[in-house]
Amino acid sequence: MASWELQTTIGKPLAVAGGRMTVTPQARRLVLRWRSTSFVWNRPVAVLVERGGQVQRYPIRDVTRLVQLGLGGATLLIVAAGLIASWRKKGAAQPWRP
């Protein structure tokens, strides 16, 4: 039976700066299971810093992944625009029309 699980996990808090600050890592994981096959994707999302009784959240952004997704999305848009423009040419077939 297939199952999936998406959850935010919190790691072990670390005392840093001579104990003045506590840093707690936060990660998000996706686990997919199907029969004897499993897939795990675990990525960091933020660190929680506790200082003087106050907790501040510092998000971790994956710049490489964001740029890849942006490039992929832009490519799809340009390719789709090019295909639609070519279909609109006079005498060209338009697949979406019967």
Partner 1 sequence: METMETANLMASAIEKDQQQTQLVAQKIFAAAQPGAVFGEPVVQGAYTVITASEVKAGGGFGLGRSFGPAAPRAAPSEAGAPPASAPAAETLGGGGGGGGWSEGRPVAIVVIGPQGVQVRPVVDVTKLLIAVVSAWIGIGAALARARRR
Instruction: Write out the two tokens for 39.
Output: 């897939």
> Considering the rule CB under 8 A, would residue 6 count as an interface residue with partner 1?
no
- Which residue matches tokens 């297939």? 2
- Least Cβ distance, residue 98 to partner 1 (angstroms): 20
Element (H, E) at 75: helix 63-87
What is d(CA 7, CA 29) in angstroms, rounded to the nearest whole number?
6
> Considering the rule CB under 8 A, would residue 17 count as an interface residue with partner 1?
yes
> Considering the rule CB under 8 A, would residue 61 count as an interface residue with partner 1?
yes
Applying CB under 8 A, among 13, 16, 55, 94 the residue interacting with partner 1 is 16
What is d(CA 58, CA 88) in angstroms, rounded to the nearest whole number?
49
Instruction: Write out the two tokens for 59.
Output: 């998000």
What is d(CA 27, CA 17) in angstroms, rounded to the nearest whole number?
23
Q: Give the nearer residue to partner 1 in terms of CB position, either 89 or 98.
A: 89
Residue ranges binding partner 1 (CB under 8 A): 9-12, 14, 16-17, 21, 23, 25-27, 29, 31, 35-44, 47, 49, 56, 58-65, 67-68, 71-72, 74-75, 78-79, 82-83, 85-86, 89, 92
